A and B are shown apart, each in its own frame.
Chain A
Amino acid sequence: MSEPIIQFARVNKWFGRFHVLKDIDLQVGRGERIVVCGPSGSGKSTLIRCINRLEEHQEGRIVVDGVELTEEVRSVERVRREVGMVFQQFNLFPHLRVLDNVALAPVCVLKLSREEAEARANQQLARVRIGDQAAKYPGQLSGGQQQRVAIARALCLQPKIMLFDEPTSALDPEMVKEVLDVMLELANQGMTMVVVTHEMGFARSVADRVLFMDSGRIVEENPPSEFFANPRNERTRDFLAKVLPR
């Protein structure tokens, strides 16, 4: 197998005195789909936010697409160009139209011309099936529509990795499906994805590996068939019992 695209080696992180990530070792290959689950406070969001340096680790090494993440600003910038992120609260820019939201990064970061950036943006918006809303403001869209725009915005830079931090947790139930469908399509097109979610159905059908985190450690790591059928660890069993519908 080729070199893994994300590597965590004995990574530790503290928030002040609170030890939030403990000795994390993780390898993610190209095109792999990883789902991270676990109780709240277990460090799952912190884990994926370390991948694009929205959080800084104090011990260990993180290497993303061959670039090691350090304090050096250039390394961070290079990594962020290859990693796209979708947030739980969408975080669309409310003062810009949808098209401008999506075209902002290609213009500012990739230094494309306005026409090229807008062409790309329209392409991505069509890909998430929301092309007709390009002239509207985020405040005029539903939650599900906003999240799809957020995905298009992240995709516009043509990243190699997509990170999803609980993308459907803030959505009304009837809008969860439209976002999951988009993520499914993305997965089928071969995108490397690391997803933090409580949607176990998605994990079962899409993931190559499912990770369970508790108290800052990766407690269990398995393909979904193994993970859901024979959870090896007691804590995993506890969690699944609470989360899976009976």
Chain B
Amino acid sequence: MLLALLLLAGAWLWSNTRANLAARQIHSGFHFLREPAGFAIGEGLVPYSPTDSYLWAFAAGIANTLRVAAVGIALATFLGIAVGVGRLSRNALVRWLCTAYVELLRNVPLIVQLFAWYMAATEILPEAANPLEFAPHVYLSKEGLQFPTPVWAMGWALALAGALIGILCAVGLYRWARARGERTGHRPRVFWAALSMALALPLLGWLSGGAPRALDVPELTTFNVSGGAGVTPEFLALLIGLATFTSAYIAEIVRSGILAVPHGQTEAAEALGLSRRQVLRLVVFPQALRVIVPPLTSQYLNLTKNSSLAVAIGYPDLVSIANTAINQNGQALECILLIMCVYLTINLLTALAMGFYNRRVTLVER
């Protein structure tokens, strides 16, 4: 009976939609994706021009979202762990500063922080003609951050391939060692072997490609900085805003994870004579990690979702580009559906990875 009601309501909404769309002369369907987009995108990893299709524009948007999310996650994790551990420090000054950091960042909405960072980047930073020089040839100005990059050559491609193979080998080595340990009760130490493999193979790749050393270096000209690679102030503002905001939440997760380890564990380890550092490294952190990782993953997802706020400061992420597209061709339903699909896919993939990790590290019980 309830089902019938829901179906009726659905049918009514659907007929309304069709009438409205017809009245506005909007054609449904996804074939608009093949038409040229007609708008420019400010930055990105994907080469794009306004004559490319809408589909390509969306791809560029996804690439931008993933770009800011990946760097943001790395930065936020680093900051979050540091501040979380700092909140448990014995030093009262460190504790107080970390607590202030967490409370200030958690209690102000992210969009307010983003606006503040963005306006700071565009108003306070110097003009491009007179940038700040952080390190030799690294320039910060209203146009963003510009830094030297290596000129792409065969050697670098080989190095990248070598790095990938090296990491795979290192992981393989660890798995072999663990299996061996379980079989014979004696687990071989593979840390140095794995590390050298992960470093040596890319080095080999680079050398065999002719050891390319050419750099594309930004140079200061009369009007601005040219050359090198750069990131826009929008990217910087979004990155710093997202990373600091999320790091405050990560700090809380790390702190409660460490506190969740029963005190008896620390006592037993201390009674055995282990030093404070050994106690933390061997007994507390491994157990804390199990408590920390699930909420940490949901914070990573939050960061990815929050990157959608880029639309407010003009960074061309997926939502931003979809917004432009909707305003241009009125295909609201399709574009929004696309956005939702992308985010749900990211969610699903992360949930799967999380489930996989959880099953592997669950404490073995009867």
Q: Which residues of A contact B (CB under 8 A)?
A: 52, 54, 77, 80-81, 83-85, 87, 89, 91-95, 99, 104-105, 108-109, 114-115, 118, 134-135, 137, 139-140, 150, 153-154, 157
Contact = CB atoms under 8 A, between A and B. Distances in A.
A40 to B, nearest CB: 18
10 contacts: A54-B267, A54-B271, A80-B272, A85-B268, A89-B262, A92-B268, A95-B290, A114-B186, A135-B185, A137-B364
B283 interface: yes
Nearest to A94: B363
B265 A109 contact: no
Contact of A52 (B262, B271, B275): B271
Contact of A139 (B262, B273, B366): B366
Contacts of B264: 87, 89, 91
A93 B265 contact: yes
- Contact size class for B? 20 to 34
A181 B172 CA distance: 46
Given A80-B271, A91-B262, A93-B265, 19 more contacts: A80-B273, A85-B271, A91-B265, A91-B267, A92-B268, A93-B269, A93-B282, A108-B274, A108-B278, A108-B282, A109-B272, A114-B189, A137-B363, A139-B363, A139-B364, A139-B365, A140-B364, A150-B268, A153-B272
A212 B357 CA distance: 51
Top 7 closest A-B pairs, CB basis?
Answer: A139-B365, A91-B268, A80-B273, A105-B272, A137-B364, A91-B264, A85-B271
A87 B269 CA distance: 11
A109 B185 CA distance: 21
A93 B267 CA distance: 11
Contacts of B186: 114-115, 118
A94 B136 CA distance: 51
A78 to B, nearest CB: 9
B241 to A, nearest CB: 36
Contact of B282 (A83, A94, A104, A157): A104
A95 B287 contact: yes
Contacts of A89: 262, 264
